[in-house]
Every structure is written in structure tokens, then in C-alpha cells.
Amino acid sequence: MNEAKTTADGHLLGDRLGRWVLPQKLPQPISPALLKHQEQRAEAAQNRIADRITGFSGSMAFVYIHIVWFACWIGFGVEKYPFGLLTMIVSLEAIFLSTFVMISQNRADAKRQVIADAQWKTVQREDQQNEQLLDLSNQILKLTKQVRAFGDTIATESDQNKQLIDLSRQTLTLTKQIHSRSLDHGASSPAQ
């Protein structure tokens, strides 16, 4: 029966040990620009190899392997003190690892550049959209002023129409009065 040991919180002991020892995979980027950059970078085998080496050399597994290696080298007496071969091996390893660190920094710089370029393009698009919105706002303001002026004209014409109607009514009233007086005057004057 092969049962895995679990910890008090239910995680498998192997999973926890794996998280401490093995290099952890980084989450996939969300940014489309970074995804495209990652795909382009993965096309070259040397980039994939460099990414794996820097990923492993920056992990606790790398440290633990070296602790075990140095302890065994010294403990089993592979060579005598001052450990010239071990020193040379470790020095060469340090030279190569420093190169991989620089490769990793260049990679990080490339990622930052991709992100900065994507943000710049976004800012440029937003500037264009802002200019378009400003232009539309100015057009709306111009149309609003025209509608307001037209409304004022209609209101003025409406007032003028009311005044004309009032004048027409007064004229009609006066005409009726004049007609009525002329009829009264014609009836009261002697016939000749």
C-alpha cells in the first residue's frame, strides 16, 4: 500500500518538499505583448536553454545540491585541503553563472521594454481618442449653441406673432367700431 503522508493542513508532504526544493514555474504572463515576446524568445533553442539554466540556478534546489556536493567532496576526501580542483570548478561555475545572470538581466530589460512599448502605444491611442472626444465635444457645443439661437429666434418670432395677433385683433375691433359708427352716422344723417 503506497499512501502519501499529509501534513496537518492536508497538503502532501511531497508537494511541500517540492515547493521548497524544486524551482517554481513562473505564472504565464497576461499581457498580450509579453505573451508574444515569450513565444518569440522560445523559438530559439539557446534562449530556452538559458531560461532553464537561470531558472534552476536561481532556485533553492541549486543551493541544496551545492551544499550536498561540497559536503561530499570534503567529507569523502576527494582531494586534500586547500581544495584546488574544487576551487577551480566553483570559480568556473561562478564565471558561467554570472554570464547567465547578465543574460537574465537582459531578458528582464527586454520584457520591460516590451511592456513600456505596449504602454506607450496605449497612451498614444488614448491621446487620439481624447482628441476625437474633444473634437466631438466641440461639435456638440457648436450644435447646442445653434439650437439655442434657433430656439431664441423661434421664441422671438412667437412673441412677434402674438404681438401681430394682438394688433390684428385691435385692428379688427377698431374696424368694427368704425364700421358701426359709419353705419350709425349714415343712419342718423338726413337723406338728401
pLDDT, tens only, 81-133: 889 999 999 999 999 989 888 888 888 888 888 888 888 888 899 999 999 98
In the predicted structure, residue 3 carries a pLDDT above the cut 70: no
> Whole-model pTM above 0.75?
no
% of the chain beyond a pLDDT of 90: 17
Q: What single string gives the DSSP state of each residue in 16-41?
A: HHHHHHSPPPPPPP--HHHHHHHHHH
Residue 9 gets which letter from DSSP?
T
pLDDT score of 155: 75
What are the structural domain ranges in the chain? 13-135
Q: Are 37 and 110 in contact (CB under 8 A)?
A: yes
SS3 state at 5: coil
Q: Are 25 and 18 in contact (CB under 8 A)?
A: no
Q: Report the mean per-residue pLDDT for the chain.
A: 80
Q: What band does 70 get if pLDDT is binned at 50, 70 and 90?
A: very high
**Cα Rg of the chain, angstroms:** 47
62 Cβ contact partners less than 8 Å away, ≥ 6 residues apart: 23, 56
Residue type, 43: E
Phi, psi of 6 (to 5 degrees): -115, 155
In the predicted structure, residue 4 carries a pLDDT above the cut 80: no
The count of other CB atoms within 10 Å of the CB of residue 6 is: 13
| Mean pLDDT calculated for residue range 54-65 | 86
pLDDT, tens only, 123-169: 899 999 999 988 888 888 888 888 888 877 877 777 788 887 887 88
In the predicted structure, residue 25 carries a pLDDT above the cut 90: no
Helices (H) and strands (E) in the chain, counts: 5, 0
Higher pLDDT, 3 or 28: 28
For the chain, how are helix, strand and coil distributed in percent, rounded to 5? 80, 0, 20
Residue type, 186: G
